Structure 1
Amino acid sequence: MSRMCCLSMLLIMIAGQARFGRAADDAGATVGSQPAIDFDTQIVPVLTRFGCNAGACHGAAIGRGGFSLSLFGSRPADDHIAIAQELEGRRVNLHTPSQSVLLRKATESIEHGGGERFDDSSPAYAMLKQWVAQGGKRLQLRRLTELHVTPSNALLQDVGDSVTVVVIARFDDGSQQDVTSMTSLSCDDPESVSIDRASNRLTVHRRGEHLVIARYLNRVHAIGLGVPLGSNEIDSVTESADGNEGTLVDRFIDQKLQQLRLPASPQADDHEFARRVWLDLTGHLPPVAQLDAFVADRSKDKRGRLIDRLLETDQFAAYWALKWANLLGIDSKSLQREGSKAYHEWLVESFGQDRPWNESALAMLTASGDGYVDGSVNFLRSGNGPDALAELATRVMMGVRLRCANCHDHPLDRWTQDDYHGLAAIFAKLDRGRFVQTSQRGEVTHPLTGQPATARIPGTRDLVSGEDGRVAFARWVTDPSNEYFARAAVNRIWAQLMGRGLIDPVDDIRATNPASHPELLDALARQFAENRFRFRAVIRLICNSQAYGRTSQTTPENVADSVYYSHFISRGLEAEVVADLIGDVTGVDIQYGTEESRDAIRLTDNRIMSETLDVLGRCDREAACESPPLGSGSLSQVLHFLNGDLLNRRLDASQGNLTRWLQSETDDFKLIETLYKHTLSRPPTESERVFWSRQVESATEAASTTEAGSRWRDAESRRAFFADVFWGLLTSETFRTNH
């Protein structure tokens, strides 16, 4: 070897010793007299605490300014490489730590697009400087095992009150540490809650309930803060039913209303309740004769008996199959008409038999065969590729938005990219044509590694070689111990009946989106499991509650409440339901495709040509429809609904109900009552009677002095008047909503 080569080697060795000479032994806990700084559990949290690895900064998918970090430090090994090794290590200066680009950018002693993150007198600066001085290594000294955040919930007495947050981390080496200063605290609405990082105090500035998210490493916790909405204590808001205590539902709803000092609206009268429960359970209005009989019934248990009877009808099975067809995205575009028909009819049969949901879910996930024959097979034919099927499966059966873990680990939940692409890898091994069967081929590429993803049950484990992934996932997701399955199902049922999920949105179950009534959600999930995952038991329980039975009319004290069920929440009806109501009430059927298709709720082809359903805003099942819209769609749709043939042709029909009622009912005020009962399922109120009395009076001629009362100019003027009344009721929001 030449002298020059020897000299070069010597210089390299000297440089290496200078660069890492202050570093501790990898297994050590101290460096000289200073405690060793652990990159994973101390440096990464500092980067998160000051927003360096947030999505708006270097945690973005493409990074910022040529510097890329994993989102919220989810991949510390990659972050260490980016900080300590990229650009030949120029981001850290081991010889003069204070000159490290990492520190100079953060303190903005050199230009930094993100501004100053902290100053050179801060504990964060001292820790980073000490870590660089120790050699900038990734020692992996410990691993986080538990995180305790205090308080988890706090009900304060008044606006302006505050609490102090304390965060304690426990590690696998047996140590624990107060990591409050390294924990990120954030609130979506800073005007509601202010965060003083010097004291770690949270101060509430608005009444109601608010969330602060605490994040340390991969753990996120929701801190619930509340201030009563009302200023006065209230008594129990649930009325005792015939001397008995309220249902399981009402105990928890009542408790929350009392805590927030929020008074409840009174119970709905029989007309309001009958219309509500008929629409909720059958998608139809109560026939007037049955409505009158129900109102006249003086039995104390009549509401419960009505609920039981409606749950046993064919209409219940058909309507709830429609709800879940929208949720599952049963689309004849991808499944073809035959597959869509088989799938829809399988759903109707499932609701008709009250088939346990865990059995249905197992069948949907593990089925094989002809999708035109076996309806359950079509779940696996849904979705545009294995990744979309993975998203559908977790959204429907777990209430989880796994798609948020596609490009990076989920920022607000436990799910990782490995979970997302691992589940997609399970579904990749499927032939998903008309005939569904397992294939030996098929893979998805993990975007981080560029390699085939390893099949994986989300948040749990990788599959072993030869294991049937669909069966393994299906058994895991439907297992009674799975914390998501039952809660997702009852949360959806609750939302479909009560207008809002206990967790809202219903497909976003996570620790940082807690339930408005967590104890109630857990109790309903237990009831669901105890009743073998059957829907009717939960529906019956909810519909029999005082909370469900409240009027939708608000009081001055609860008018702003849209979360705590102090009154019934009005909601829109599906386009198919509104179409059927129009056909039923006017007595003129709406045809769909063929003369046999007159019931929109029972249609199995969601893409059948129908201007009516388009005008009413039917669900586009290429996107999930968790709930129907309150309005009728775009401005053009609304105008068509108000002025088009859908209503006008039916009001003018010679064989329609209006023609028949005009001929059979000569008393104008009884005719108005007939129109009200058929559309709004109630007689007009006293103020409405006064209003219509004046309208009739102004529309008629004065009778001669020898006659009492008044008379219409002719039959056509009477028809035109009542056609306008009928039209006004049919186009009202009251008619097109359940309330």
Structure 2
Amino acid sequence: MRAFVLGAWLVATALCQLPKDHPPLPPPGHRAKAERLTALAGGTAAAPVPPAPRRNLIDEHIFGRMERDGIPHAPLASDEEYFRRVHLDLIGRVGDAAALDEFVASADPAKHDKLVDALVGSPAYRARWTYWFGDLAMAAANRIGNEGKNLFYRWIYDNIQIDRPYNEMVTDMLTATAASNWYVGPASYLARWVVIGVKCEDTVHEDTSDELAINAVKHFMGVDLNCVSCHDGERHLEKINTWLARRKREELYRMGAFFGRTRILRRVEVATTQDEYSIDDKGPGYDMGARTVVRVPRRGKGAAEPVFLFTGERPDPSRNLRAEFARMLTSHPQFARATVNLHWAALMGVGIVDPPLDFDLARPQATHPELLDALAEYFRANGHSLQKLHKLIAKSSAYRLSSRFAGEWKESYARYFARRFVRRLTAEQVHDSIVHATGLYTDIPVRGTDFRARYATETRSPEDFKGRYPGLKDINFFLESFGQTNREYAERTNEGDITQAVLLMNSPWVLNQVKARPGGHLSALIAEAHPPEKAVEILFARFLNRRPSPQESAMAREWIAAGGRRGYEDLQWLLLNKTDFLFHY
């Protein structure tokens, strides 16, 4: 019976691949992939669609523009769709079956807002967004040591818990000093980007300064300066990024000069090969002619004086250079714009500017420039609160739109956010949803601690899955195959392939997860002896956060009746192989 799923899964993986004879769909890149997948997988809604209620500033901009331009939009998602969506987005896994039943049955008109309020700030929310930020900062133990990685995680987690202003968090990361990054949480952000020379203990000062400036600007302003770290932008970047095409390599030197006085020394624990770094402000400055081990040789002469690329401002000579850099960065309008756009992309599937870390400041990339500015102003006015930003987005009608669309869908509608963008679950969302739905958890030892994680988002980094503990090898291979980043050089990917199909059907870990083992939800369900129809509803709610269709229910009851305990296991296996388990819609 399990082979029956193969055809369905091949369809699902095909959705992630554009057929060779398919015409290109503008615009290019990440947005085009999201548009393509949504058009193929989104489905059709019943017409007509009433106007969506405008619940906050987001809706005023999104639906106001659609109304102005005569663009139809999808209906609001069903309660089941919204319940699943908001759980995946805010806590990184599907929701509980009992909570789903209560939510759907409730007649409270404020139940959607109340659900968001309950999730934002919860322990699962804190773990999900701490892990997300670890990915952004590429916090790998191989670069900052297990102790540094664990403390960095804890520092982010604690700051998210109290909803600390994001500009203050960023300032702490950019200005941290430490005798050891193993004892000062935010210090690991800078330590992560140290460039090592030929000798283990040798750090390449100017290359490191460049990396610190490049990554800070990329992560917190959404602009990628990498291309101008080796050459001027002129005659290289005109077709890629108009603003960068006007930049000089020397301007990057002057950004790096903000870190010229930053001295980062490396200490290697030979027995454990764990990196440890001290950070202070006793560096020699920035030499524009210094050697490089990662870039085209520098051709400048003399010391670079720091100048903030985005404003031309020079630092107050009486103040710490990194403190001045942090002040200039977090007070610049692009800081708030980049931050809200990055989190919009995380929740909506596609950024207002997309890709979110590749702004071109010289041309209008934003689909909704006024909305981007309004969100940035809201973010500033509300104390740079990430929790308030997440609530604003998740409570909007724009966020609640269905991926199903009534009538003819046109590619031009995608720019209006006229329907929900469909995307594949991340590796961690797949893993965490499986273990949550089955109730069968593998204790994942977090390196350098006594803590055992149950969910991927509770681990401190992907390296925690690489230990020599029972079951971890299969889980690690599963996560890597589904595109998990290693935070060192492999970027995250949500592309589909046949390996993923095979793993969902035949992975030793998956086959073990669907069994009715002691302690799991299925063994308890069987012991409770529910009527088959009720048991099927419970399993659908656990895995897919929805009720089965009449046809699905009838087929599932037949499998249970014919197979008994094995029939229940087969049904669990079938549910996690269904297309709608794997996709975020």
Same fold (TM over 0.5): yes
Partner residue of 1:394? 217
Instruction: Name the SS of the counterpart of 1:514 in structure 2.
Output: coil
Alignment of 1:563-574 (within 5 A): 563-574=415-426
Partner residue of 2:431? 579
CA 1:624/1:557 → structure 2, altered by over 3 Å: closer, same or farther? farther
Instruction: Name the SS of the counterpart of 1:654 in structure 2.
Output: coil
Note the C-alpha offset of 1:658: 2.5
Note the C-alpha offset of 1:641: 3.6
Determine whether 1:485 maps to 2:308: no
Note the C-alpha offset of 1:295: 1.3
The 8 Å contact of residues 431 and 438 in structure 1, kept in 2 or not, is answered as: yes
Corresponding letter in the other structure for 1:622: E
Corresponding letter in the other structure for 2:229: N
Corresponding letter in the other structure for 1:443: Y
Instruction: Name the SS of the counterpart of 1:326 in structure 2.
Output: helix
The 8 Å contact of residues 56 and 396 in structure 2, kept in 1 or not, is answered as: yes
Note the C-alpha offset of 1:694: 4.7
Determine whether 1:732 maps to 2:578: yes
Note the C-alpha offset of 1:464: 7.1
Determine whether 1:675 maps to 2:539: yes
Distance in 1 between residues matched to 2:122 and 2:408, nearest whole Å: 39
Determine whether 1:443 maps to 2:286: yes
Instruction: Name the SS of the counterpart of 2:263 in structure 1.
Output: strand
Instruction: Name the SS of the counterpart of 1:435 in structure 2.
Output: strand
Instruction: Name the SS of the counterpart of 1:457 in structure 2.
Output: coil
Note the C-alpha offset of 1:613: 3.7
Greater alpha carbon shift after TM alignment, 441-450 vs 640-649: 441-450
Note the C-alpha offset of 1:252: 1.1
Corresponding letter in the other structure for 2:398: A
Structure with the bigger percentage of helix: 2
Instruction: Name the SS of the counterpart of 2:280 in structure 1.
Output: strand
Partner residue of 2:326? 474
Structure with the bigger percentage of strand: 1
Note the C-alpha offset of 1:519: 0.5
Instruction: Name the SS of the counterpart of 1:660 in structure 2.
Output: helix
Distance in 2 between residues matched to 1:539 and 1:396, nearest whole Å: 18
The 8 Å contact of residues 395 and 401 in structure 1, kept in 2 or not, is answered as: yes
Partner residue of 1:503? 353
The 8 Å contact of residues 49 and 406 in structure 2, kept in 1 or not, is answered as: no
Note the C-alpha offset of 1:533: 0.8
CA 1:694/1:292 → structure 2, altered by over 3 Å: closer, same or farther? closer
Partner residue of 1:68? none
Distance in 1 between residues matched to 2:182 and 2:223, nearest whole Å: 29
Corresponding letter in the other structure for 1:723: E
Note the C-alpha offset of 1:725: 2.2
CA 1:555/1:394 → structure 2, altered by over 3 Å: closer, same or farther? same
Note the C-alpha offset of 1:653: 4.5
How far does the alpha carbon of each residue in 1:23-63 deviate from its partner, in whole angstroms, 9 at most, with x for none? xxxxxxxxxxxxxxxxxxxxxxxxxxxxxxxxxxxxxxxxx
The 8 Å contact of residues 673 and 683 in structure 1, kept in 2 or not, is answered as: yes
- Please, which of 227, 232, 254 is the counterpart of residue 422 of structure 1? 254
Distance in 2 between residues matched to 1:296 and 1:382, nearest whole Å: 48
Note the C-alpha offset of 1:288: 1.6
Distance in 2 between residues matched to 1:358 and 1:399, nearest whole Å: 15
Identity %: 28
Note the C-alpha offset of 1:363: 0.9
CA 1:692/1:274 → structure 2, altered by over 3 Å: closer, same or farther? closer
Partner residue of 1:239? 52
The 8 Å contact of residues 275 and 285 in structure 1, kept in 2 or not, is answered as: yes
Distance in 2 between residues matched to 1:207 and 1:417, nearest whole Å: 34
The 8 Å contact of residues 260 and 283 in structure 2, kept in 1 or not, is answered as: no
Corresponding letter in the other structure for 1:436: I
The 8 Å contact of residues 261 and 321 in structure 2, kept in 1 or not, is answered as: no
Corresponding letter in the other structure for 1:549: R
Determine whether 1:723 maps to 2:569: yes
Partner residue of 1:690? 551
Instruction: Name the SS of the counterpart of 2:398 in structure 1.
Output: coil
CA 1:260/1:396 → structure 2, altered by over 3 Å: closer, same or farther? same
The 8 Å contact of residues 264 and 558 in structure 1, kept in 2 or not, is answered as: no
The 8 Å contact of residues 121 and 387 in structure 2, kept in 1 or not, is answered as: no
Note the C-alpha offset of 1:316: 1.3
Note the C-alpha offset of 1:682: 0.9
The 8 Å contact of residues 556 and 571 in structure 2, kept in 1 or not, is answered as: no
How far does the alpha carbon of each residue in 1:647-674 deviate from its partner, in whole angstroms, 9 at most, with x for none? 1012224313223323333533322212
Distance in 2 between residues matched to 1:517 and 1:732, nearest whole Å: 35
Greater alpha carbon shift after TM alignment, 560-569 vs 495-504: 560-569
Partner residue of 2:523? 659
Note the C-alpha offset of 1:642: 2.6
- Please, which of 457, 463, 478 is the counterpart of residue 607 of structure 1? 463
Corresponding letter in the other structure for 1:341: N
Instruction: Name the SS of the counterpart of 2:353 in structure 1.
Output: coil
Determine whether 1:408 maps to 2:231: yes
Instruction: Name the SS of the counterpart of 1:495 in structure 2.
Output: helix
Note the C-alpha offset of 1:257: 2.1
Note the C-alpha offset of 1:463: 5.0
Determine whether 1:621 maps to 2:487: yes
Corresponding letter in the other structure for 1:401: D
CA 1:551/1:663 → structure 2, altered by over 3 Å: closer, same or farther? same
How far does the alpha carbon of each residue in 1:446-495 deviate from its partner, in whole angstroms, 9 at most, with x for none? 5342554433322414557675321111111111xx12111011101111
Instruction: Name the SS of the counterpart of 2:52 in structure 1.
Output: coil
Alignment of 1:504-523 (within 5 A): 504-510=354-360, 511-512=362-363, 514-523=365-374
CA 1:308/1:691 → structure 2, altered by over 3 Å: closer, same or farther? closer
CA 1:304/1:380 → structure 2, altered by over 3 Å: closer, same or farther? same
Corresponding letter in the other structure for 2:506: N
Distance in 1 between residues matched to 2:305 and 2:322, nearest whole Å: 14
Instruction: Name the SS of the counterpart of 2:147 in structure 1.
Output: helix
Distance in 2 between residues matched to 1:490 and 1:237, nearest whole Å: 29
Instruction: Name the SS of the counterpart of 1:607 in structure 2.
Output: helix
Number of residue pairs matched by the alignment: 484
Corresponding letter in the other structure for 2:255: L
How far does the alpha carbon of each residue in 1:495-551 deviate from its partner, in whole angstroms, 9 at most, with x for none? 111011000010112233520000000000111111011112221111111110111
Determine whether 1:300 maps to 2:109: yes
Partner residue of 1:382? 192
CA 1:592/1:235 → structure 2, altered by over 3 Å: closer, same or farther? closer
Alignment of 1:69-468 (within 5 A): 238-240=51-53, 245-369=54-178, 370-383=180-193, 384=195, 385-410=208-233, 411=237, 412-413=242-243, 414-432=246-264, 433=266, 434-445=277-288, 447-459=298-310, 460-463=312-315, 468=320
The 8 Å contact of residues 536 and 556 in structure 2, kept in 1 or not, is answered as: no
Greater alpha carbon shift after TM alignment, 567-576 vs 463-472: 463-472
Note the C-alpha offset of 1:250: 0.9
Note the C-alpha offset of 1:427: 2.1
Distance in 2 between residues matched to 1:623 and 1:397, nearest whole Å: 20
How far does the alpha carbon of each residue in 1:170-206 deviate from its partner, in whole angstroms, 9 at most, with x for none? xxxxxxxxxxxxxxxxxxxxxxxxxxxxxxxxxxxx9
The 8 Å contact of residues 528 and 538 in structure 1, kept in 2 or not, is answered as: yes
- Please, which of 420, 427, 445 is the counterpart of residue 593 of structure 1? 445
CA 1:461/1:262 → structure 2, altered by over 3 Å: closer, same or farther? same
The 8 Å contact of residues 575 and 613 in structure 1, kept in 2 or not, is answered as: no
Structure with max Cα Rg: 1
The 8 Å contact of residues 92 and 128 in structure 2, kept in 1 or not, is answered as: yes
Structure 2 residues without counterparts, runs of 5 or longer? 1-23, 29-46, 196-207, 267-276, 290-297, 467-471
CA 1:274/1:436 → structure 2, altered by over 3 Å: closer, same or farther? same
Distance in 2 between residues matched to 1:672 and 1:518, nearest whole Å: 47
Distance in 1 between residues matched to 2:48 and 2:88, nearest whole Å: 32
Corresponding letter in the other structure for 2:565: R
Higher RCO (CA 8 Å, separation ≥ 6 residues):
2
CA 1:503/1:435 → structure 2, altered by over 3 Å: closer, same or farther? same
CA 1:439/1:235 → structure 2, altered by over 3 Å: closer, same or farther? farther
CA 1:263/1:299 → structure 2, altered by over 3 Å: closer, same or farther? same
Structure 1 residues without counterparts, runs of 5 or longer? 1-205, 211-233, 701-710
